[in-house]
Structures are given as C-alpha cells and as structure tokens.
Copies of this chain bind each other. A is one copy, B any other.
C-alpha cells in the first residue's frame, strides 16, 4: 500500500474545512470539493471533482456521509454529488466517512471515523460545551450558583457534570447503576436515581435517550427550570407536556458541528490518523 500524502475532502460543512486545514498544517496536500456556497475556504485548494478523484491518495467524506443513501451529504455544494459516481472514481483508495451504515456500497475500502470510541469521547466534550453555551444563552441567570441536574452518567453526563461544577454550579447527577452513583458521589456531586428524580432545579440537561422527563416528572422538578435535551431524536423530554406547563425547553442536537466546527474538524482528523495507524494504510 502506498503511503498517503494527499487527501481529497469532499462534501460536508465547516468541520471538513477545519479538518483539511489542520491536516494541511501537518504536511498533507489537501484538495476540496463541494464548498462552493462557502465564502471562506481557509486557504485550501479547491479543485474539480474529477481532478481530485484522479489525484488524491485518500478521501475524507462528511458525517453523516449521506442522508438519503444515494447522494453525498454536501450542504455547501452547488450541485448534487451522486455516491455511485463518486465511489466509482475512487475505486480501492481509502475513504474515511462518518455513519457509513447509512449507505450500502461494496468493493470499497471504507472506514467509519464516527464509530470510534475516542471520536465519541472527544465529540462528547464538544457536545457538553455546546450544552453549557446553550444554557448560558437561554437562561437569564448565571450557571454559577444555579442548581443543575444532569440525567445520565455516560460520556456526555460525565464531562458535562464536570464542566458545570467547574463553573460553580450546584450539580446533581442521576444514574441507574450503583456503580455510577458511587462515582458521582466520589466527585462530590449529589447523586440520585434516574428512575426516581427528585429536587428543584434551575437547569436540567437530559442525556438519556428515553423518556425520563415525562409530564409528571417535569411538573415535580422543572417548574422554573430551563430544560435542555441532548439525547438524539425523539429525545427524553415530554416536549408537549413541557409546553403545557410553560417550561422552557431546547432540543439541542448536533452541537459539535454548530458550536465548535474547528475542534470537531480536528477530532475527525485525529480519528482518521488513528485509523491510518491501526490499519497500516
């Protein structure tokens, strides 16, 4: 296998540009395509799709690689980019993309950076910080001194609780397992069971992807709270009930790309590098 010296970066949003910029700084030749609507391409070389497909050693495609399974996800491109054509031209060269389960093509050397654990953790950092930013924007008080509840102690819960604590909030975290509750107490946070949410909060951050904040629970603990749901669709908050109860809610999705495209792009780059190392590409 020839060593990779150049990447074609095709489709996606600002994250991909930052990914390319950072890789260029590491010495890779970068060519981009599909960013025609973007005024600022960070000094990266824009090429013709056919040229890039002819010359690049490997390709970095967006997260998700496709929304419809047929065309590349390229919101900044002027023209649609059919996957069939793209993959035909790429042949056996390595392709790095996100959420490859959304497409079904064979005969490719296709790697999914979004499936990797270190990618998920780094992304959880960006999501957590995006949640803090959302809270600061939407809440009329300070996070400092506020009573915050984080439901769930997975990747996001762990990092978000630390951040809120670091800002001087009064942090309660819910979890289901006794093990997680022990970790939560060790950190000096208040620990409660997810199945039995208690207390009164100024801000509630849900990270659990099932209905934990239903109408009854919202009425009991969230009367004056801002509720930010970080769980993927359909989320874990009874949004209609919240509206009925005049509780302010935000369903904050896909935060990393929105609030920190630069960091997100570097996270993608690092995951690609890790794949290259592990796979000896």
Contact = CB atoms under 8 A, between A and B. Distances in A.
Interface of A: 14, 18, 116-118, 120-122, 124-126, 128-129, 132-133, 136-137, 139-145, 158-159, 162-163, 165-170, 177-179, 181-183, 185-188, 259-263, 266, 274
Contacts of A143: 129
Contacts of A129: 136, 142-144, 167
Contacts of A128: 144
Given A118-B177, A121-B182, A125-B144, 12 more contacts: A122-B182, A124-B186, A126-B144, A129-B142, A136-B259, A140-B260, A145-B185, A158-B183, A165-B188, A167-B167, A168-B188, A178-B274
Contacts of A260: 139-142
A169 B188 contact: yes
Listed from nearest, the 9 A-B pairs whose CB atoms lie closest are A166-B166, A118-B178, A121-B182, A140-B262, A117-B179, A141-B262, A133-B136, A141-B263, A168-B188
27 contacts: A116-B178, A118-B179, A118-B181, A118-B182, A125-B145, A125-B182, A132-B167, A133-B133, A136-B136, A137-B137, A141-B262, A141-B263, A142-B259, A142-B260, A142-B263, A144-B186, A145-B185, A145-B188, A159-B186, A162-B187, A163-B166, A165-B166, A165-B188, A166-B168, A168-B186, A168-B187, A178-B274
A170 B145 contact: no
Nearest to A159: B186
A124 B132 CA distance: 19
Question: How many copies of this chain does one complex carry?
Answer: 4
A185 to B, nearest CB: 7
Contacts of A262: 139-141
User: Interface centre among A142, A167, A261, A266, by most B CB within 10 Å?
Assistant: A142
A177 B278 CA distance: 12
A158 B159 CA distance: 13
A145 B187 contact: no
A125 B168 contact: yes
